[in-house]
Chain A
Amino acid sequence: MIGTGPLHLTELIVLLFFTVFAIGYSLLLIQAAIATAREVERERRRAYSVADLAASSSQPSVTIIVPAHQEAAAIVQTVRSLLAQRWHQLEVLVVANGCTDGTLEQLVEAYDLQPTSDLLVRPPGARARIRSSWRSSTDPRLRVLDLSAGGKADASNCGLERATSEFVLLVDADSLLAPHAVARAMLPFIELGEQVVAVSAAIRVLNGASVDADGYVTSAMPRSLLARMQMVEYARAFQIGRAGWASIGALPLVSGAFGMFRTSVLRAAGGLDPTTVGEDLELVLRLHATVRRGGRRPDIIFIPEPLCWTEVPEDATVLRAQRQRWHRGLVESVMRHGSMLLNARHGTVGMLSFPFLGLFELLAPLIELLGIGALLLAAVTGALSWLVVLALAMFAVSFGLALGMGAVLLELLWGRGYVQRPRDVATLFVAALLEQLGHRQRTAVWRLHGLIAGLRGRRASWGRMHHRGARAVTD
C-alpha cells in the first residue's frame, strides 16, 4: 500500500493522524473513566452534602449572568430554574441584548419587573448601549438589563460589570439548571481554595426532557434522530474530553452554557472578547495565560455530574450554522493564543491539550475528508483494494462507536440520564452507529467551512433556533 506519490503520501499522513488520534482519545477515555470513578467515590465519602452547603447561612455570593438574544420561548423557564437554585446568596442578572421577539416583555409579565433608576455605565470596549435597567418586585434577586444590540460577549461583560458577588455563573438563556447546580459548582471553590478559578460541569441535551415542580429535569429520548446523535456527541465531549483533560489539569474550555468563575479573576482577564464567536474557549485560554502570568497555577475543575440541560438543534440548517460557528471560534482562539503551543510555561495546557486542540480538533475535518477522498480515489484507480478501504472504514466506525458507548456508560454513573429504560441503550447504540455513518462526515464538511471562514476572517451567523423548552410535569 505505501509506495510513493502524493496519493500514497496522503494515505500515510491520514493513517498516522488516525493512529495518533485513536491512541490519544483512548488514553483520554481511560483517564476520564478513572477520574469519574474517583469523583463518584469522593461524592459518596463526603462528610457533608451539597444540601448542607445549600442550607448554610455563611455562603459566598453568586451572580448568575444570562445573556439573552431572541429567547422569548425559553427565557421564563430558564429564569425559573435559576431562581429555584438552592442557594441563599444569589442574584440573577438577565442581560437582554437586541431582543425584538418579546423576551423582555415575557420577563416583565412573568416577574413583574419594574424599571429602576440606576447609573448606566457602559463597560469599556462594549458595543451595546444600555437602554434600561429592571428589577423584579416579586423576587428582588432578579435584575434585568436591556441592551440595544451587541453579542453574547458584550451582554456577559455588561453583566460582569454589574455583578455584586464573589462568583459569577455564566449560563445560556436556554439552559436549565438542576436545583443544586450552584451549590454543587461551589464545592470545588470551597474545598480546594484560592487556586480554583473556574468550574465547569457536564451538560445534557434537553430535547424531549420534562421538568417537575421542584425543578428537577428528567431526561428522555427525543424523537429526532439528529438530537439523539447529538446526545452521544455531548456525552463523548463532556464525559471523555472534558473529564479526561481536567483530570490532568489541562482543561482548555469551560462551556458557555454553564461556567462558574471567580469574579475578580474574570475581571482581571478582561471578561469575554466580543470580537470572536468562540468566546468561551478564547476566555479560558486567556484565563490560563493571565493567571500564569501572575505566577499562579490556575485550577479549572470539571464536574462530570450533569448540572445543566440545553436544547440542541433538531434542524440541519441551524446545526450547520452552529458547527460552522464553533469551528470558526476554534480557529480564532487557537490563532490568538498560538504562543501557548508546546510552551512549558503554560503547563499541561500548553504541552498537551492545546496541541491536541490545534492538531486533532482544528485540522480534523480537513484530514478526515482528505483521508476519505484519498482512500476512495485509491480504490477507484486500483492503487488500493476495496477490501482495505472497507477494513479501515469498519475500524473507524467501530472505534467511534466504542467511544460513544463508553461515554454513555460514564454518564450512567451519575444517574439514569438519557437511559430511562434499558431499551434506551439500544436506541443510543443505533444513534452512535449512525452518527459514524454519514452524520460525522456531514459535520466534517460544515466544520471545514468553518475552518476556511475562520482563516479568511469571514463572519459566521448564529442561525435561528426554534426553542421548545422542556415539558412541564405537574403534581
Chain B
Amino acid sequence: MGESTIIWLAVVGGIVAFGCALVCAVASVILARAAQRGSSARMQINTQVAHRPAGGQPQPQPMMTVLHPVVAPQPQQPIIVMMPQPQLQPQPPHHPQPGAGVVLEGHYPQLGRALGSWLQVERDELERGRIARDLGRLGSADAARALLDGVRTGVITPTIAADNLERGGFDAGIAVATALRDPEPRVRALATSLVGRRVPLTPASIEPPPASPPPRSDPRA
C-alpha cells in the first residue's frame, strides 16, 4: 500500500467524517430551535434566576452556602425492641384503581394483626396474595408473624410468604428467628431458609449494642 493511497483514503475519510459532524451540528441546531419554539409556546414554569450578577452569565451558586457545624445527637444505645410506629403525614388522597392494594397508614399500630386476620378469612386467592404483599411492605414483626401463620394454616404458600418476608427487613427478623422453633415443620423450614439466605448469622456478624457511644474519629488518622 503506497503512501499516496493512504493519504488519499485518510483525506477522503476525514472529509466524509467532518461532513457528517457538520450535518449532525446543523440538525442539532434545527432540533434545538424546534424545541425552543415548542417550550416557549407551552406555559412556562415561573422561574427566575436566584442570583444573577449585572451582565454576563449567571454565576453558578452552590446550593449549600453555609456549612455551620452541627452537632448530631449521640445515638441511643441500640436495644433490640420493636420499632415504634412512625408518625406519618397523611398521604395525599388518590383514586384507587380497581383491585388496588390496601393503602397503608403508618399510624394504625394494629394494622399487621388486622391484615393477618383478614388473610386467614379471605377466600379469593388473588386477594390473599395482595394482602401478603401488603404485609411484606408493612415489614413489622406482627406482619411477619401473620405471614408465618398463613403458611401454618395453609392459606398462603411458603413461596409467597418467603417473597414477602424478604421485604420485611430486619424489623421482621425477630419473628422469623422465633419461627425457627415453631412446632409446624413447614414454618420451621421457611424460617430456616430465610435466615440462611439473608444473613448467615455468625457471632461475628451481629453487632452487640456498644456500651457507650463510640467516639467520632477520622478513620484515616
Contact = CB atoms under 8 A, between A and B. Distances in A.
B60 A61 contact: no
Best-buried of B32, B58, B139 by chain A (most CB within 10 Å): B32
Interface string B74-101: 0110111101001111010010110111
A80 B17 CA distance: 43
Interface in B16-37: 16-18, 20-22, 24-25, 27-29, 31-33, 35-36
Interface in A80-135: 88-89, 98, 100, 102, 104-106, 108-109, 113, 115-124, 129-135
Interface residues of A, number: 104
Interface string A47-59: 0000000011110
Contact of A121 (B17, B35, B205, B214): B205
A57 B105 CA distance: 13
A195 interface: no
Contacts of A404: 21
Interface in A382-424: 384-385, 387-388, 391-392, 394-395, 397-399, 401-402, 404-406, 408-409, 412-413, 415-416, 419-422, 424
A135 B32 contact: no
A1 interface: yes
B22 to A, nearest CB: 8
B144 to A, nearest CB: 12
Interface stretch (B47-55, B118-126, B147-155, B182-190): B47-55
A289 B5 CA distance: 46
B109 interface: no
A149 B169 CA distance: 23
A163 interface: yes
Contact of B72 (A74, A98, A105, A415): A105
Contacts of A425: 25, 28-29, 32
Contact of A115 (B61, B75, B88): B75
Contacts of A214: 45
A412 B137 contact: no
A412 B27 CA distance: 9
A416 B10 contact: no
Contacts of A424: 32
Max chain A C-beta neighbours (<10 A), residue from B2, B15, B69, B169 = B169
Interface string A157-181: 0000111111000000000000000
Interface residues of B, number: 90
A415 B35 contact: yes
B211 interface: no
Interface in A306-323: none
B6 A1 contact: yes
A76 B32 contact: no
B67 interface: yes
A134 to B, nearest CB: 8
Contact of A474 (B7, B39, B47): B47
A140 B90 CA distance: 12
B167 A130 contact: no
Given A77-B63, A401-B21, A385 B47 contact: no
Contact of A405 (B13, B24, B70): B24
B109 to A, nearest CB: 14
A296 to B, nearest CB: 17
Contacts of A58: 97, 99-101
A39 interface: no
A105 B75 CA distance: 12
A469 B206 contact: no
B15 to A, nearest CB: 8
A88 B95 CA distance: 13
B219 to A, nearest CB: 4
A468 interface: yes
B94 to A, nearest CB: 6
A121 B49 contact: no
Nearest to B209: A120
Nearest to A140: B86
B71 interface: yes
27 contacts: A1-B2, A1-B6, A73-B62, A74-B64, A76-B64, A98-B219, A108-B73, A115-B76, A117-B83, A121-B170, A131-B75, A134-B75, A161-B198, A162-B170, A164-B137, A213-B45, A392-B6, A392-B10, A395-B14, A405-B24, A406-B20, A412-B28, A419-B32, A421-B32, A421-B36, A470-B60, A472-B61
Closest 3 CB pairs of A and B: A398-B17, A391-B10, A132-B75
Given A132-B75, A164-B168, A391-B11, 7 more contacts: A116-B83, A121-B206, A133-B78, A135-B86, A140-B106, A405-B28, A475-B45
Interface of A: 1-2, 55-58, 61, 72-74, 76-77, 88-89, 98, 100, 102, 104-106, 108-109, 113, 115-124, 129-135, 137, 139-140, 146, 148-149, 161-166, 207-208, 210, 212-214, 216, 222-223, 263-264, 384-385, 387-388, 391-392, 394-395, 397-399, 401-402, 404-406, 408-409, 412-413, 415-416, 419-422, 424-426, 428-429, 432, 467-475
